Structure 1
Amino acid sequence: MPGLGLVIRECNRTTSNDYQSSGGKTVPVTTGIHHITAFVNDVQATVDFYAGVLGLRLVKQSVNFDAPEIHHLYFGNESGSPGTIISFFPQEDARQGTLGGGQVGITVYAVPKDSLIFWRKRLKHFQIEVMEATRFDEKYITFTDNSGLIIELVEREQGPNSWWSLSSVPVEFAIKGFAGALLFSSNSKSTERVLVNLLGLRKIAAEEGLIRFKADGELGNVIDLNAENIPVGEGGAGTVHHIAWRAKDYAELEAWGSLIGTSEMQSAKIVDRQFYKAMYFREPGNILFQIATDLPGFQCDQRIEDLGGRLDLPEQLESQRAVIEKKLKPFVVRALD
């Protein structure tokens, strides 16, 4: 278990040591997905699905900064590396969303070679219906989580294997992190321009109404996009709130902010999300994008072996801890076999 006992840096510190310059680049390029954030219903069912069934690690318990009575739970690999993190706002009374344009349609995870047979059997064991799909000569298995989010698994050689294992998922079959995503755009041509001209992805293939793009990272680096416009969906449980792209450092984040500021898109100010700095903008296809820094990361305030074991609150909410903890619905992380 590499890195045990290492605490990288304080979460709220932003210094030149934390964020090095981008080496003189005037146009930053993302290496892929940083994280994906979605709306779900039941908190315990969500924890059971992602930790118990899929075998991901709960690496952080936090809250929605704007509505601290709602959990914000982060799941990923053993260390919560960028490119592996999916996070959720669970809210039992949330209305069900409608899948459509302006959303991440499918979240795709990478598993090691020769793993899909194991995952078909495992999902069947938990009575989860599995379908099969083929895109760009790759085979996928498709299923939905407890709130209706569409998930796919695909075998990929790229990216390090995860050594985290809570339940009966052997490490040789464990989910590595994101393979990528399928984006549903209401203005596909404009979304394509953003992916290529702003984020720096490369268009590498097209087939049967889909366009494929690739970034240079090992995880979360393959993005598919519908070629035809899709009517706008409605946010709610079972839909993705935003997809975040990786920025190496704060300098890159600022550079993207300058580029977005000169376009027709409206970017928000840079915000402190405790474990990363981020900036949101809605691209012309109505998908909410975020750009997020790799640092300080989820080990900024905890050792790797302690990740996910406590409620982490931002400094501005710490004085309200007792009240917040009473409002949050309790849950347990448990192995499901």
Structure 2
Amino acid sequence: MSIKTSGLHHVTAIGGDPQRNADFYLRTLGLRLVKTTVNFDDPGTYHLYYGDESGKPGSLMTFFPWRDAPSGTRGTGQATTTSFSVPPNSIGWWKDHLAEAGITTGRIANRDGEDVLTFDDPDGLRLALVAHPQGDPRDPWDNGHVPAEHAIRGLHSVTLSVAEEEATAEMFRELGLTFTGQDSNRLRFSAGEGGPGTIVDVLVTPDAPRGLVAAGTVHHVAWRAPDEQTQASWREELVDRGVNVTSILDRQYFRSIYFREPGGTLLEVATDAPGFAIDEPLLELGRALKLPPWLEPDREQIEHTLPKLNLPSENNPERA
């Protein structure tokens, strides 16, 4: 078995109003908008990428925000919680910070030795902040909204809800993840060396209703491939195992393949390269609307269709 992903690449969800989405993820959570582009399959809709300073794989949360999108329903066949990694001893600060922003949070819980704070974004997307006791060596985005000592380091994990565990667990083993433990109906798998940014929890809820993907739910979860050659090899291996996999698709900032795990969640394998600085300088990431070459002839119409976004100046600091 050659497939061995090193961890999460990004999580993509469906949002509602684009400005409200940007305000929350930039100002409340303190992430950086690293790319403003469109949904390549529906260019009348933004595709907003949030992450660390350069949008490194494993730091990314992305959105298709539709202003009038109907609300989805959490349930089986979905990623039902997206968790971000924060430093040890920061959960209390975040609870106060979110309360000041009008966000209701759950009680601080401890799971597998990690402090966990759960809450919903303005569209009802279930999120969590997780503090690993050994910390997270990744650098945060240094912005004016969240102090660096408390700032998000990147993705921590995703939780998938399934009706049955066996086939989903086997799929993650096929992707090179290792089963690391079970707590009641929650199974944990980790990629690579483990730790924040590598984890998927599989929550087995046989009596839960099937989820409906719309605003406030996750569209897909992406795992890392180091390069295009490896991705192509993995795709062949998945096809040989009977998995229905898309062709390799050009997403400009990475190459992608998509398939569903047996429980129903849409998964992606995305390449680490070429990254978000391919079409604009690092200090200007996210500032301008970027379109792939095949959509450039329609730029005027697309810009007319998309609502204007007001971004905080901290997203593009003037640094030497």
One-letter amino acid of the counterpart of residue 107, structure 1: T
Which residue of 167, 172, 176 corresponds with 2:149?
172
Cα deviation per residue 1:108-165 (whole Å; 9 max; x = unaligned)?
0000111111111100111110112332232200100011001100112454343423
Q: Which residue of 1 aligns with 2:64?
A: 89
Cα deviation per residue 1:78-128 (whole Å; 9 max; x = unaligned)?
110000101101102211111011111100000011111111110011111
Q: Which residue of 2 aligns with 1:274?
A: 252
Give yes or no for the alignment of 1:189 onto 2:166: yes
Which residue of 121, 141, 155 corresponds with 2:96?
121
Would you say the 8 A contact 1:186–1:286 is kept in 2? Answer: no
Q: Which residue of 2 aligns with 1:146?
A: 122
Aligned partners of 1:83 and 1:326: how far apart in 2?
33
Would you say the 8 A contact 1:112–1:161 is kept in 2? Answer: no
Which residue of 34, 51, 69 corresponds with 2:9?
34
Aligned partners of 1:240 and 1:143: how far apart in 2?
15
Taking only aligned residues, the RMSD between alpha carbons, in angstroms, comes to 1.6
One-letter amino acid of the counterpart of residue 183, structure 1: L
Give yes or no for the alignment of 1:295 onto 2:270: no
Aligned partners of 1:335 and 1:49: how far apart in 2?
15
Question: 1:227: how far off?
Answer: 3.3
Q: Which residue of 2 aligns with 1:19?
A: none
Aligned partners of 2:170 and 2:263: how far apart in 1?
10
Q: Which residue of 2 aligns with 1:265?
A: 243
Q: Which residue of 2 aligns with 1:105?
A: 80
Relative to the length of structure 1, the TM-score reads: 0.88
Unaligned 5+ residue runs, structure 2?
A: 315-320
Which residue of 162, 177, 180 corresponds with 1:204?
180
Relative to the length of structure 2, the TM-score reads: 0.93
Aligned partners of 2:138 and 2:244: how far apart in 1?
38
Which residue of 27, 44, 48 corresponds with 2:23?
48
Q: 1:37 to 1:226 in 2, by over 3 A?
A: same
1:281 match: secondary structure: strand
- When structure 1 is superposed on structure 2, of 71-80 and 161-170 the one drifting more is 161-170
2:187 match: secondary structure: strand
Would you say the 8 A contact 2:140–2:152 is kept in 1? Answer: no
Would you say the 8 A contact 1:70–1:328 is kept in 2? Answer: yes
Question: 1:231: how far off?
Answer: 3.6
Q: 1:335 to 1:207 in 2, by over 3 A?
A: farther
1:255 match: secondary structure: helix
Aligned partners of 2:283 and 2:221: how far apart in 1?
27
Aligned partners of 1:312 and 1:126: how far apart in 2?
31
Aligned partners of 1:202 and 1:288: how far apart in 2?
20
2:33 match: secondary structure: strand
One-letter amino acid of the counterpart of residue 312, structure 2: R
Aligned partners of 1:104 and 1:171: how far apart in 2?
28
Unaligned 5+ residue runs, structure 1?
A: 1-25
Would you say the 8 A contact 1:189–1:227 is kept in 2? Answer: no
- 1:127-142 → structure 2 map (5 Å cutoff): 127-132=102-107, 133-142=109-118
Give yes or no for the alignment of 1:245 onto 2:223: yes
Q: 1:134 to 1:295 in 2, by over 3 A?
A: same
Q: Which residue of 2 aligns with 1:58?
A: 33
Would you say the 8 A contact 1:52–1:166 is kept in 2? Answer: no
Would you say the 8 A contact 2:76–2:205 is kept in 1? Answer: no
1:172 match: secondary structure: coil
Would you say the 8 A contact 2:31–2:51 is kept in 1? Answer: yes
Question: 1:207: how far off?
Answer: 1.0
Aligned partners of 1:186 and 1:195: how far apart in 2?
16
- Number of equivalences: 310
Q: Which residue of 2 aligns with 1:236?
A: 214
Q: Which residue of 2 aligns with 1:326?
A: 304
Aligned partners of 1:74 and 1:260: how far apart in 2?
28
Query: Between the two proteins, what is the percent identity of the paired residues?
Result: 39
- Flag the structure with more relative contact order, 1 or 2, with Cα contacts below 8 A and sequence separation at least 6: 1
Aligned partners of 1:163 and 1:235: how far apart in 2?
30
One-letter amino acid of the counterpart of residue 114, structure 2: E
